[in-house]
Structure 1
Amino acid sequence: MLIHGGVMKLINKKGMVFEKISIIDIVIVLAIILIGYYALSFLGSKDVDTVSKQTIHYTFETEDVNENFAKQLKLDGNLYNSSKNYYVGKLIDYEVLPFEIIVPDLQKGVFVKQAVENRYVVRMTIEANTDQNAYNIRVNQENIKVGAMFPIKGKGFASYGYIIDIKEVVK
């Protein structure tokens, strides 16, 4: 170490600390330490969510289907996500309603609902055993969330639709 005028010089003219370690070496070591800290904090163990088993009833709605679709529905039939082939539950109830569209009534200057002939809305109530944590309700690999759209199929039918309601079954 060089002492000039009573003050110790940490860095010499060549950029060496204590005349042995380069500043670039220090920057590299600090970068490695920061990357390691980030990796451990990001990939390290987080709070383990407890998963609970729960039976739910959820309502799945599919629109603009024909009469043959409704005739294929069988109570207690197994239902699957038709693109991934995951089991999503058992059909326990269904309701067939007329499919309605909104059309203008030009004489009154308003919009009115009008039923479309031979087209229906089907609301299926599905029972499923789920794995739940603070963030998800899952049936096998399928996330069950209100507003989620997925393709559904059973024996003799397939369609797309949305989940419109979820209720936990209290036993």
Structure 2
Amino acid sequence: MLDKNGKLFGKISIIDILIVLAIVFAGLFVVNKMGLFQPQTIVGNGGDKLRITFYQEEVNSFTANKVGVGDSATETLQNNNFGSVVDVEVGPSVSWGVDKDGKQVKSTKEGWSSIYISMETNGKLGPNGITIGGSKYYIGQYIRLRVGDSIFYGRISGAEKL
């Protein structure tokens, strides 16, 4: 099988095979870390009833105004169901900048809004984060949230057990 040059069947070296295997295992590791091989639990199957609050400082007003109570919410990376929207608060946008004295100042932008979205779902709330659908989330974590036919990029601002 191996010739005097260390090639398998005279064409492929052992080093080539090891490199290909390393690339395959690295790819599988990345896919596993993304959660694609983790078993997903059905939202209605257990856990406690939780209220998760999501916040985005700046979003186009037309996007914020499309969200309504009862809309379905899904986190896009893990494709976990965050339940349905129970409350929406749209306010003025929050933009941070520097004034002429070099101090941070808060301002708003016309045509932009901030939004709080509260959702109810099943999961576990513990000292080490929130578990929904087999995935861990944390207060302050940035996520992409699909609500109805809109998408948001903001933080989980709160979680409470109902």
Question: TM-score, normalized by length of structure 2?
Answer: 0.62
Aligned match of 2:75: 81
Distance 1:122 1:86 in 2: 21
- What count of residue pairs does the alignment treat as equivalent? 117
The alignment status of 1:128 with 2:107, answered yes or no, reads no
Gaps of 5+ in 1: 1-51
Aligned match of 1:61: 55
Distance 1:85 1:147 in 2: 19
The alignment status of 1:157 with 2:142, answered yes or no, reads no
Aligned match of 1:140: 133
Gaps of 5+ in 2: 1-45
* Moved >3 Å (runs of 4+): 108-111, 131-136
Identity %: 21
Q: CA RMSD in A?
A: 2.2
- Helix, strand or coil: the match of 2:158? strand
Does the aligned pair in 1 maintain the 2:58–2:95 contact within 8 Å?
no
Distance 2:127 2:95 in 1: 38
119, 125, 140: which one aligns with 2:112: 119
The alignment status of 1:96 with 2:96, answered yes or no, reads no
Pair member with larger Rg: 1
Distance 1:77 1:155 in 2: 5
- Helix, strand or coil: the match of 1:72? coil
Distance 1:109 1:81 in 2: 37
- CA distance change for structure 1 residues 104 and 63 in 2, over 3 Å: closer, same or farther? closer
